[in-house]
């Protein structure tokens, strides 16, 4: 979702613009808070404190960042504050160590296992572990480049075993030659990543053979599925669930979760559904308290020397 809020109007404490901000972000904030705080009243308190903090600090907003980053940064801090006050329940059993609280991690996937896998004696096991690592690295690169058509194509080819000619129309590509090109370049890049990680001839040869013949002694579909190399992190699923993603990312997550039927991701989406559904009532209460905050902040500005 592109930035559509008017920062100037937000800084002027415009009621309607702040109402738009609340309507745009409240559901996602609630999903985020609910994964870390079990008590519904405490969740609502954190939501209100988040917008209160946003109003108080909007005059110092750094436009080098997105408003979304600003808002979720405040929410993260308020959530931690609430947990430290004793509300440590977790709505979805999610870990709350700080490494998992950042909504803006570039990587959409879980980190692979440690590189100590290379010390294992069994070549096939070692090859599959390294394959999972390089597949994850390729997914991360492709996601960062926002090349979601490539990601969709490769998942369909490698995970689902679909054919080139079937995929062109599915993902809006001109012809199956484009699908073949995506596959060739992706496998070539995977070979480079394997060499960079000391993958040895066995793995690089297997990838080269896959590019040339479509066959390999490594079970790529099993590795892709069991190691969850392309499963989006929960915050991406939450954003997709609320319609808050750009078209490309939304297309990939829909394909991954719905068309390919990823079980762990569908379980996560079901858990996210446990977040409060009474958004209309919640927004009404938030809007009422926020009007009071905006009004008192406007009064404070007028009473401050040099205030407008």
Using 70 as the pLDDT threshold, list the residues of the chain that sit under it: 1-3, 86-127, 172, 199-202, 208-218, 272-280, 304-308
pLDDT at 275: 55
pLDDT at 7: 93
The answer to whether 140 and 191 have CB atoms below 8 angstroms apart is no
pLDDT at 71: 92
Give the list of residues 6+ apart from residue 116 with CB closer than 8 angstroms, or none. Answer: none
Take residue 139 and report the two structure tokens written for it. Answer: 């997914």
pTM of the model: 0.52
The answer to whether 10 and 64 have CB atoms below 8 angstroms apart is no
Angle subtended by helix axes 15-34 and 234-241, to nearest 10: 130
pLDDT at 274: 59
pLDDT at 50: 93
pLDDT at 173: 72
All structural domains of the chain, each given as residue ranges with its CATH number in brackets, are 7-104+276-303 (1.10.1740.10), 115-231 (no CATH)
pLDDT tens by residue, 241-256: 878 788 889 999 999 9
Q: How far is CA 278 from CA 30, 107, 220, 255, 282, in A?
A: 11, 32, 43, 28, 6
- Measured between alpha carbons, how far is 269 from 215 in angstroms, rounded to an integer? 34
């Amino acid at each position: 979702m592109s930035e559509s809020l008017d920062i100037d109007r937000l800084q002027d404490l415009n009621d309607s613009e702040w109402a738009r901000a609340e309507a745009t972000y409240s559901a996602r904030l609630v999903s985020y808070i609910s994964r870390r705080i079990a008590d519904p009243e405490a969740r609502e308190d954190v939501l209100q404190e988040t917008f209160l903090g946003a109003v108080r600090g909007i005059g110092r907003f750094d436009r080098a960042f997105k408003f979304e980053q600003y808002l979720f940064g405040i929410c993260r801090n308020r959530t931690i504050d609430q947990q430290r006050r004793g509300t440590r329940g977790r709505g979805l059993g999610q870990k709350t160590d700080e490494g998992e609280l950042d909504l803006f991690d570039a990587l959409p996937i879980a980190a692979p296992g440690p590189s100590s896998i290379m010390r294992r004696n069994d070549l096939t096991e070692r090859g599959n572990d390294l394959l999972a690592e390089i597949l994850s690295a390729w997914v991360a690169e492709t996601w960062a480049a926002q090349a979601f058509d490539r990601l969709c194509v490769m998942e369909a080819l490698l995970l689902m075993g679909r054919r080139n000619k079937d995929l062109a129309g599915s993902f809006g590509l001109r012809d199956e030659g484009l699908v073949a090109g995506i596959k060739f370049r992706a496998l070539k890049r995977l070979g480079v990543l394997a060499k960079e990680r000391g993958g040895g001839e066995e793995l690089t040869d297997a990838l080269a053979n896959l590019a040339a013949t479509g066959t390999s002694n490594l079970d790529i579909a099993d590795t892709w599925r069991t190691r969850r190399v392309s499963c989006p992190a929960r915050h991406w699923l939450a954003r997709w669930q609320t319609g808050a993603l750009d078209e490309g990312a939304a297309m990939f997550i829909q394909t991954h979760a719905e068309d390919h039927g990823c079980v762990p991701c569908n379980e996560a989406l079901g858990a996210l559904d446990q977040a409060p559904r009474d958004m209309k009532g919640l927004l009404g209460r938030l809007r009422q308290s926020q009007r009071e905050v905006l009004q008192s902040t406007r009064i404070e500005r007028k009473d401050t020397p040099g205030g407008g």
